[in-house]
Structure 1
Amino acid sequence: MPRPTRAQRAAIARRRADAVELRLAGADPLTVGRKLAADPIINSDRIAYPLGYGHELYTKGRPAPDDETLIRSVNRDVTQALEHRITGSQAAVEELRALEDARLDRMFLVAYRKAVKDGDLPAIDRALRIMERRARLLGLDQPAKTEVTGQDGGPIELTADATGHELAALIALTDPAVVRDGE
């Protein structure tokens, strides 16, 4: 099968975007399939949707796809469209991360020079803060390991009648944001 032309790829992308929008609006896959079908006989608007579902059959004069095929096609389109959106979002995040890293480089250079040259304590503090921010941005810091043990360092014992409050207290022990005095 030959590679789709630019116009065909654009029409397929439009169909996928329309499918996602209809699904987000609450339409079930079969309704979406009929709304975006190429064959006016099954299209709910009685039009030939450009490169709609079953367009290969429609252009050859064959019967329209059955309901199951429409549903599979819609689900495949929605999945591909959402994966494309996620990939695009991840690329945008990486671009922004690189931009922020470059900004931190420029600021760090100023603070570092002043810290090293003059021994300026506020500049040293600023350089350290920039380094901490970069470590968070790039995920350089290792997460703190937390080990929760029971009485005298033994295993935590749970009984079948443990209450929700007791379980929540144990979970809170593993949360690094929870700080307990004396430990």
Structure 2
Amino acid sequence: MPFITEEIWHELKERGPKEYACVAAWPKPQPVADAPALLARMAQALEVVGGVRTIRNQKGLGPNKPLTLAAKTTDATLQTLLADYGGIIRKLAALTDISVVEAAPAAAVGFVAGGAEFFVPLEGQIDLGAEKERLTKELEYAQGFRDSVSKKLSNEKFVANAKPELVERERQKLADAEAQIAALDQQLAGL
């Protein structure tokens, strides 16, 4: 497909009549000023994209379903990030709009990225009643799991006779269950 490559080469910038891609010299790498800061800002932008994609997966929304994103921040650097990398974030997360808000929108699911809160409004995107029911069932299951692990850890015979790695694994399960319950409570409160 050299003809397509040549066409793109000429579209990138104005070229002379005998400047062809097949005979051009390889570009020389140039040092980038403040490369670590650029990489850090791009990592923040990708963290926001990851948060939106996680919400899409959790709520069963297709990857191309248009959504909006609301950022709750007063940090000037994050607002600059949204201004500079907003196009990339919109494209990679399939968003129609990114806005900065003072309060969380109604019926929105949130996540934290880069020290700021982001919200994806879901009103009209999903059935809120069915979502509340699903989250309530998931919360009940997580609470039952937490109670069973807690019961196991409260058994002194188990703690005394089990291998320390097993006891530590059970404690980690308990901590994970507590974190999941807190996250589900927060999601229910957001709806």
Give the TM-score band, short-chain normalised. Answer: under 0.3
Whose strand proportion is higher, 1 or 2? 2
RCO higher in structure (CA 8 A, sep ≥6): 2
> What TM-score, normalized by structure 2, do the two folds share?
0.26
